[in-house]
A and B are shown apart, each in its own frame.
Chain A
């Protein structure tokens, strides 16, 4: 393992999309999360019909990952197993769980929906991102009470140290009841020297999170 550098980061929160510190899209009107995500999708011309089958949590993670990978498309030239995805959140898939629960809670009105059930696991969004970008490396979904730079850094660093990865998309994707936020990082294992504030360390991750 060389040096772990934060190549880039994408934040989607409060109806704003911020890529590497620059706001690349925002809506001033108060929109539902659903409508905002659709507008982001259209704005960046993402052209991926499966987006409309996804639940809101997967759409959120998908959008941030897409915007990040489209800028740092060098990963497209690597072997699929060289890039991994390790995400985390607090609410797991509860937002969709409630929607699925609505389809089963009354015996008189019982119609369990497979289209909803498939999204009642938080790691499904990792699957969606992997399918879109042909990423086949290490996966992981961690549940934390709040965004936790130490947990993420330790987990991901261990993967790099054990030579499992060259790149990792990692961070926080949380959504429940219209309240959403995501902060995704693209981390690279590089032989080059890097500036201290770009190293993949809890303090740098935390500083970036607090900026948004």
Chain B
């Protein structure tokens, strides 16, 4: 039996700006950024701008639901996010009709610095092992689906959850994504010279790179219309594609992202969504990524639609990005507010995209979310008010 619609029942965002979706959105509405200068020898040799979550707050929040000593930073964040998102939804996480989907690029990679044994690899370094701990915390009977596909993991995971519900395999999907800051990841991006010299400025003419961030986000999906939260939001089509061009730089002609957007728009389950009112872009603030995105939007005929990036608020959260940015976009639709694209002042890309310059009210029904990542991957997703 094919399920017709997939609804949103709950959500959560955890970043430097707060531990709930509401706290994060309030910060956005107050024009606050969570990207700060951090000088921590455990993270980097020299200080840099990142979005770091308050460790004391992680511990104190976690103490209310579990023993913090038994879980890593990554696991605590994921568990806190799922716990908050599921609360009050009426969804039974212990049911075998509920699937947990975990999106992450590096999981517990921070542990590798202290424990780099190859002969006897620390089990926590395996993403499926970290997923198991999260699964067992909640008493979920199903092995979580773990998606690790660079920075499109989050958007890909939401589409996967939606497909699995519509094919009748599950009634509910708890789609969660987490990535933490680590010397490993910071060093890597530094070696690419792709980090900004201040909070990142997506689409801006002075942009000079991305700001890394850590985050955790969850979207709770269900086929049960009685559990759909008001205002009812439905997940439409989604797709992924590959540029087939370069493993670490985006296609200059945005082949892959353009293809994904076309496929997502043409998906029969996207038809009820109607026209797109708002685009939540990837917007990492690297010179190449933002330029590529504007070309994709231009080719897709979407230049006139308000667009933003959230990365100026909480940095690039990698495996969590697609999920927390989708949740923020859902809030945008719910509240009929266009959120300012933090860090933006003057357009610095070759196509005239309409970057949202300040928080403003607007009736919104349909959002297109896009994402791109290392390996030439791209993904997109549509969701809309019923």
Contacts and interface: CB of A to CB of B under 8 A. Distances in A.
Interface of A: 80-81, 85, 90-92, 94, 97-98, 100-105, 107, 110, 112-114, 117-118, 120-124, 126-128, 130-131, 133-145, 151, 154-155, 157-159, 161-162, 164, 176-177
A126 B377 contact: yes
Interface string B221-240: 00000000000000000011
Contacts of A158: 160, 163-164, 167
20 contacts: A90-B126, A94-B125, A97-B106, A97-B112, A100-B184, A100-B188, A104-B183, A105-B116, A110-B45, A114-B192, A117-B187, A121-B105, A121-B150, A121-B375, A122-B148, A123-B148, A123-B375, A131-B244, A145-B126, A158-B164
A97 B105 CA distance: 12
Contacts of A118: 192, 247-248, 374
A14 B169 CA distance: 36
B121 A141 contact: no
Given A124-B375, A142-B146, A154 B169 contact: yes
A23 to B, nearest CB: 30
B148 A121 contact: yes
Nearest to A102: B116
A96 to B, nearest CB: 11
A98 B259 CA distance: 35
A164 B150 contact: no
Contact of A98 (B112, B156, B164): B112
A81 B150 contact: no
Given A90-B128, A127-B375, A158-B160, 15 more contacts: A81-B263, A91-B121, A92-B127, A98-B112, A101-B113, A102-B116, A117-B191, A118-B247, A123-B149, A123-B377, A131-B244, A136-B243, A139-B377, A140-B156, A143-B146
A75 B243 CA distance: 17
B297 interface: no
**Main secondary structure on chain B at its contact with chain A?**
mixed
A101 B116 contact: yes
A14 to B, nearest CB: 20
A162 B267 contact: yes
Nearest to B183: A104
A107 B255 CA distance: 41
A81 B241 contact: yes
B168 to A, nearest CB: 11
A66 to B, nearest CB: 15
B378 to A, nearest CB: 9
B109 interface: yes
Interface in B143-197: 143, 145-150, 152, 156, 160, 163-164, 167, 169, 183-184, 187-192
A151 B118 contact: no
Contacts of B152: 139
Contact of B241 (A120, A137, A141, A161): A137
Contacts of A121: 105, 148, 150, 374-375
Contact of B259 (A81, A85, A112, A126): A81
B164 A154 contact: yes
B308 interface: no
A85 B189 CA distance: 26
Contacts of B312: none
B256 interface: yes
Listed residue (B146, B167, B242) with the most chain A CB atoms within 10 angstroms of its CB: B242
Contact of A112 (B143, B190, B239): B190
B31 to A, nearest CB: 33
B117 to A, nearest CB: 9
Interface in B331-386: 373-377
Contacts of B373: 123
